[in-house]
Amino acid sequence: MRNLLLTICYDGANYHGWQIQQNAISVQQVFQQALQRIIGDSPDIKGCSRTDTAVHAREFCISFHTEHSIPCARLVGALNHFLPKDIAVLSCREVPEDFHARYSCLGKEYEYCIWNERVRNPFLIGRALHYWYPLDLDRLNRAASQLVGPHDFTSFCAVDARKRGNMTRTVTCAHWKREGGMVSFTVAADGFLYHMVRIMVGTMLRVAEGKLEPNDIEKILAACDRKAAGPTAPPQGLYLNRVFYK
């Protein structure tokens, strides 16, 4: 029995996230179909994370056990042959038997991209949020700095039917940058709650609009109430950037 770790990337525009769903196509479903054509089996695939509908991944990690002897390099080539053009396998390697793509993960990094020009960019439709309001990066970075460290992020978690557990996460990096018309927010942490990054972005855009002050982030964290934070930014500008393992 082998335990394989695969790194993939995908454009999420045509998918309802990573995880298999009953009434919608997902990245996991398409990946499993391609894998079955190669090894003739449907192993229990472990994904490093869940991604929402239309969210992209520059690096997404998968692990599964298999008794098939196909070499890693051949598996990469075969999967890329059968997968659609918006999903690609970057690498494959054998890992220890107890490795788990999700539970062995030490942290992740996300990036949210905003096209900050008056005129929309047709080539970024579905890949970046078009937001024409001026963005003061000094003001945004003062807000982002308050997210760094261990905090209870209840205020930055969408209210849904999931069972609530420990809402504390440790953010190790949170900053904004600009390259021409493209403004991006990068955040890394040991874990993320449901819609956490998108709520961070939506809240800080309220800071950019002058509806909140940078120091209000501290008050929003302390409130532990989703209603205290700003709106949830659209999913199309969000990318899972990197996944960290030991």
> For residue 13, what are the CA distances in angstroms to 124, 163, 200?
12, 28, 22
Q: How many angstroms separate the first and last alpha carbons of the chain?
A: 22
Distance CA 128, CA 126 (A): 6
Place of tokens 């001026």: 134
With H, G, I as helix, E, B as strand and everything else as coil, classify residue 156.
Answer: helix
CA dihedral sign of residues 40, 42, 43, 45:
positive
Annotated catalytic residue: which of 11, 52, 136, 160?
52
Tokens of 246: 């030991």
Phi, psi torsion values for 137, nearest 5 degrees: -70, -30
- Is 52 catalytic? The answer is yes
Q: Count the Cβ atoms, other than its own, within 10 Å of residue 215.
A: 11
Distance CA 108, CA 27 (A): 19
- H or E element: which one contains 33? helix 27-39
- Using CB atoms within 10 Å of the CB of residue 140, give its burial: 0 to 12 exposed, 13 to 18 middle, 19+ buried: buried
- Based on DSSP, count helices (H) and strands (E) in the chain, helices before strands: 5, 10
The catalytic site residues sit at 52
